[in-house]
Amino acid sequence: MDNDRIKQFQILLAAHADLTFLPLSADLQYLTGIPREFPNFGTILHPGAWLEGVWLTPDHSPIFTLSRMSAEFGGMGADGDIRILGDWDDPATMVQQVLDMFRLPPTPRVAVSDNTRAEALVHLQALLPQMRLVSATAILRTMRVIKTDADIATMRKAGEITEAAFAAVLKQLKHGMTELDVMVEVDYQLKQHGAAGPSFTTAMYNSGPDFPLILGHPEQKWHRKLQPPMTLLFDFGAIYEGWCYDFGRTVFFGEPPESALRVHRLVMESQKAGVAALIAGQYTAEDVDAAARKVIDDAGEGEYFRHRLGHGIGLDVHEPPFLTHGDTILLQEGMLFTVEPSIMHDNDFSARVEDVVVVRKNGGEKLTSDFQNLIIYE
């Protein structure tokens, strides 16, 4: 458990709230080191799951509560004051006992993570009917936005795993594979190379004269056979020790014409401009987006750069701040962003690239830098 982070958070908390509850989440892992479980698509319920997490005030040490199921099958790995709810115990009674220790004011301000389950809030409202809710995630954000050297080292390792998985995937590519075949191979190779799994649902985008670009409804294109000439755009990343990577490259099936080489070259020049602009204390997030976007706009391809340049990243895949118009936050050293320009054509060749980049005093530092040229699979 990171006691220094907890103390720093308690100082911030004092100005905003009397109590915080952090469920199993990125916020909890950041503050205490307690890992999250790999997410499930459907909800898995067990008695008292709504109370699992940490309770903390500005002047009281953390109290961890968890259900018997979590305690017996792995637990939360917490140190300190841990309360375990039996299968037939009343979770509200346990939480009330915890709350009584804190001597809260009659109208307490309670900070909770943004992704706290509504079930937990309903039960908490019954116990503290006069409470006022505030965002614990927003309070923690001022800490989470700047990554430590240790955080960056962990992300660098996540990038190494991601690149190693990608290199292994390239060896398996064949004409006639389906997009689904490639996605399954990516997820397999991520785990083979040390990831807990993909940090988000692995995505592919393909386009060419005979391959309309389909955004959304991926099941409509999963089974299309990948035949030349076409571009295949990768978007995936590894989970390593709870940290999330995000990575993108472009593969061309067949012999690329000049038009395909051109769009890839423009995307790489755009990324280079964006990375160079990640200078601490000099530019804002929207300045970086503008610098990268200008390369593609000046080449007449601006309408095909369909999204923001990038986003903050760390324990969550997408975190504030964002490299986009309207985000005026001043860059600070240690911020992590994806820099991911693209040119996405319909019924023509496309390109994208994506790396995680650290804001530095003299410009961005990419954590991954292999496969910079267009990858050609003839």
- Where exactly are the structural domains of the chain? 3-144, 149-377
Please tell me if the domain spanning 3-144 has the same topology as the one spanning 149-377. Answer: no
Asked if 133 and 166 count as a contact pair (C-beta separation under 8 A), the reply is no
CATH for 149-377 is: 3.90.230.10
Residue 48 CA to residue 98 CA, distance in Å, equals: 15
Q: Could you give the angle at which helices 258-276 and 285-298 cross, rounded to 10 degrees?
A: 160
pLDDT by residue, tens only, the chain of 378 residues: 678 999 999 999 999 999 999 999 999 999 998 888 777 777 777 778 899 999 999 999 999 998 887 777 765 566 778 899 998 999 999 999 999 999 999 999 999 999 999 999 999 999 999 999 999 999 999 999 999 999 999 999 999 999 999 999 999 999 999 999 999 999 999 999 999 999 999 999 999 998 889 887 777 788 889 999 999 999 999 999 999 999 999 999 999 999 999 999 999 999 999 999 999 999 999 999 999 999 999 999 999 999 999 999 999 999 999 999 999 999 999 999 999 999 999 999 999 999 999 999 999 999 999 999 999 998
CB atoms < 10 A from the CB of 167, how many?
13
Q: Measured at the alpha carbon of residue 35, what is the angle toward residues 33 and 38, in degrees to the nearest 5?
A: 160
Angle between helices 179-192 and 149-170 (to 10 degrees): 130
Which stretch of DSSP H or E encloses residue 10? helix 3-14
Both tokens of 223, joined, read 């089974």
Looking at the domain that runs over 3-144, which CATH code has it been given?
Answer: 3.40.350.10
